[in-house]
Amino acid sequence: MKHFIRKSALGQEPSLEHFDIAILPELESLYAALLPSLEKERLFIYAGATSRGEGTSTVAWALAYYVAVRTGEDCLYVDGNIRHPYVRRLEGLPECGLSDFLQGGADFRMLPFPTELGRLAAVHGGRIRSSHVRLSAERAGHFITESRRYYRATVFDSLPGFDKYAEIWSRHSDTVFIVTSYRRTKQEILERVLNGFRNAAIPVTGILFNKREFPIPDFIYRRI
Amino acid sequence: MAGTEHPDIKAQRPQSTEARQINLREFYSIIFTHKWSIAAIFIILIATISWGISLREARYIASLKLYVNRGLIQQVSLDYVSRLEWEEEINSIAEIGRSQGVLSLAAREWDRQRGWPDPPIGRVNMIAAGLATMVEVLPVQETDIINILVHEADADTALAIAEIYGAAFMVEHNRVNRHSYGRDFFAKAIADVESRIRNALDAKADLQTDSEIYNWSYQQVAFSETEEMLRRDLNSKRIARRVLENQVAMERKVFEEGYDFVLTPELRDDELLKILESQLAQLRLELAQLESRYTGDHRLVRAKRSELESAQQQRHAHIVNLVRIREKQLAQSYEEEHILEDIIDQMNARSRGMPDDVARIDYYDSYVHNQWTLYSELLAKYNDSLARDEQTVVEQQLVALGPANIGGMEGYVPKFVFVFVIPLFALLLAIAFAFMIEATSSSFQTVAQLEAFSGLPVLASFRKL
């Protein structure tokens, strides 16, 4: 929730004013790209990354909240990075998370918990260690079906890179985004991830360029 | 910025990823992106260069310019001096300036000015070696100027050394020129001729006043004294030879006629002969005893007699051998006498060949005349060499163009270099380093790069907050 969404949004009704003004145009263009699909069905959005630290969780939070604001309906953020979860402090949160669901011991309705942002719910990564999780396409499909049932849009914050886990989730997703970052993502890494998706015949909808910097100060930029 | 796309997004979208010329915005973008790297490298470079410069010792360079005055020779005989001729001439003069002679002269002068008029040669060589490392003699290209450069940490010392070295250079140059044109040789030859004439005139005057100090008188005396000494030697040898002749004659009688009693003292002193004589006497005594006891036919008497004869033959053979040796000595004495006689004859002839006073005076006159002729020839050549020397001095004269001055400093960095050049150099190097980092980076910096590489649309470009 950091960076993109202001703290003043906590506990308030959803509003565009809760977003940092610098990213609103980008979120709007992204929403515009999703809008045709969003009008047809409830979306399950896969947000992947090339490597850790690209800012995937921040983008996913912002995207989920933005869709909730624009549609006026409930949306869900899923912390799918069960190895290094974005939601780490689980005090006061539901007992079960994504890993518990994938292990088969929890009902989907027990997973979501309301966030301090209006119309945005979240699912944390779970308390079972990722190495003990036995992932099956059926459980993932069931999770996606259930999330579509209850939420207008679900943003799945996945593991970085491309592996079996990413393949299963992205295959069942409606839209696949890859988050890259300015001066951080290497060409070789991005090529390897994209080749993974291509070889698995999973279409990548687009790329989100994050942490973009404009090093030239404006007062100089205007003069050159 | 709110609600509008940052203008940099479109501006920084290149047409392709191939190498191309960057624009000003991209240049600034690189500068500001790597501003901290540039600042760090800049500080490191400034510190390193400053440290390196602080290690250098500032040294003054004193300069003394010598002008090679070649005006006359150019006016008279040379309309055009080619570059090669110039190089040969000026470089040869400059080479004199670098020679050990100049170094030694300057070293001596240096010590003399410091109150040590006659330093030992080791000290001179040590100072000269030091000067060789401090002084440069360089012709200024395309001119007739030779520059003497002295590198020294103290400015006053540098100036003093330049003055001393320049003076030594000019002295050595003139000396070499004089030596080259032979003036010294003729001057020495003239002095020798003058000395010989003076001696000859003195000798003639001595002869005319019956003085006996002239060497010819000594020579005559020496001849006569030598002859007398040789004659004395000859007489002594003849006396000794006669004695030896008599001895040999007497000794010859010993074995020719059997006169034992004529044994000469030399024969009697012979040790082997003494032994043989003793054996012979013993045998004779034993034979007498046997003959008194036995008859003459007794075998013991016969044996002893035979033994006695054998001993007598042995003694006789030894005496014959000794006499032969005496005869050889006698023949050698004859030869020595003949040699001495020949030498005495030669000395006598040379003594008789000595000129008389009139002839001697004539000889002196002739000798002095010849020496005067030689003197006039040498004087003419000396004057020619003097003229040439003067001409050389005019033509090749080294003239100091003013006193020595401080031409600059080495190892001294001016303030504007510290303030402007070094920081600019460090800044440019740091920027170049930043560009190198940028050129070797494989990360994405623009949306266009990302789209071109991935072949996928970039749906959003979130700036870093």
pLDDT digits (tens, 9 = 90+) for A145-194: 999 999 999 999 999 999 999 999 999 899 999 999 998 899 999 999 99
CATH classification at residue A159: 3.40.50.300
B118-155 exposure pattern, b = at least 16 Cβ within 10 A, e = fewer = ebeeeebeebbeebeebbbbebeeeebbbbbbbbbeee
The answer to whether residue B159 scores a pLDDT higher than 80 is yes
Contact yes or no for B8 and A182 at CB 8 A: no
d(CA B187, CA B345) in angstroms, rounded, equals: 46
The answer to whether residue B131 scores a pLDDT higher than 50 is yes
* A&B contacts, CB < 8 Å: 122
Q: Which residue intervals of chain A are DSSP H helices?
A: 24-40, 56-71, 98-103, 137-150, 164-171, 187-199, 218-221
A56-75 confidence digits (pLDDT tens): 999 999 999 999 999 999 99
CA–CA min distance B132, chain A (Å): 59
- A5 located within any domain: no
Residue B120 DSSP SS3: coil
Nearest to A207 by CA among B233, B458, B339: B458
Stronger pLDDT, B394 or A171, i.e. the higher one:
A171
| Closest partner CB to B461 (pick from A209, A216, A221) | A209
| Closest partner CB to A27 (pick from B8, B9, B460) | B460
Q: Which H or E run includes B62? A: strand B59-69
- A208 located within any domain: yes
Judge residue B371's burial from the number of C-beta atoms within 10 Å of its C-beta, 0-12 exposed, 13-18 middle, 19 or more buried: buried
Type of residue found at B306? S
d(CA A205, CA A30) in angstroms, rounded, equals: 11
Per-residue confidence band for B416, with pLDDT thresholds at 50, 70 and 90 = confident
CA–CA min distance A122, chain B (Å): 23
For chain A, what is the radius of gyration of the CA atoms? 17
* Residue A189 touches chain B, beta carbons under 8 Å: no
- Pair B154, B162: CB distance under 8 Å: no
Number of other CB atoms surrounding residue B458 within 10 Å: 21
Q: Which residue intervals of B135-214 are DSSP H helices?
A: 155-180, 183-208
d(CA B86, CA B94) in angstroms, rounded, equals: 12
- A181 located within any domain: yes
> Domains plus CATH for chain B?
23-56+413-454 (no CATH), 59-185+382-408 (3.30.70), 215-354 (1.10.287)
Q: How many domains does chain A have?
A: 1
Judge residue B176's burial from the number of C-beta atoms within 10 Å of its C-beta, 0-12 exposed, 13-18 middle, 19 or more buried: middle
Contact yes or no for A216 and B444 at CB 8 A: no
| Angle, CA A76 vertex, CA A71 and CA A82 arms, to 5° | 155
Q: How far is CA B46 from CA A95, B43, B51, B55, B437, in A?
A: 60, 5, 8, 14, 20
- Pair A109, A137: CB distance under 8 Å: no
Q: Which of A57, A216, A220 to mutate to test the interface with B (most CBs of B within 10 A)?
A: A216
B353-372 confidence digits (pLDDT tens): 777 777 778 888 889 999 99
Contact yes or no for B456 and A204 at CB 8 A: yes
Contact yes or no for B459 and A191 at CB 8 A: no
Number of other CB atoms surrounding residue B303 within 10 Å: 12
- A148 located within any domain: yes
Contact yes or no for B8 and A24 at CB 8 A: no
The reported pLDDT for the residue numbered A105 is: 73
Type of residue found at B449? Q
Q: Residue B298 is encoded by which pair of tokens?
A: 């007794």
- A12 located within any domain: no
Q: Which of A38, A54, A182, A198 to mutate to test the interface with B (most CBs of B within 10 A)?
A: A182
Nearest to A21 by CA among A4, A7, A1, A2: A4
- A14 located within any domain: no
d(CA A201, CA A160) in angstroms, rounded, equals: 18
- Pair B130, B110: CB distance under 8 Å: no
| Closest partner CB to B460 (pick from A20, A191, A209) | A209
Domain span including residue A105: 43-213
- A27 located within any domain: no
B432-456 confidence digits (pLDDT tens): 999 999 888 889 988 998 999 999 9
Number of other CB atoms surrounding residue A27 within 10 Å: 23
The reported pLDDT for the residue numbered B8 is: 44
Contact yes or no for A186 and B443 at CB 8 A: yes
Report ipTM (2 d.p.): 0.89
- A1 located within any domain: no
Q: What is the pLDDT of chain B when averaged over all its residues?
A: 83
Number of other CB atoms surrounding residue A92 within 10 Å: 6
Per-residue confidence band for B167, with pLDDT thresholds at 50, 70 and 90 = very high
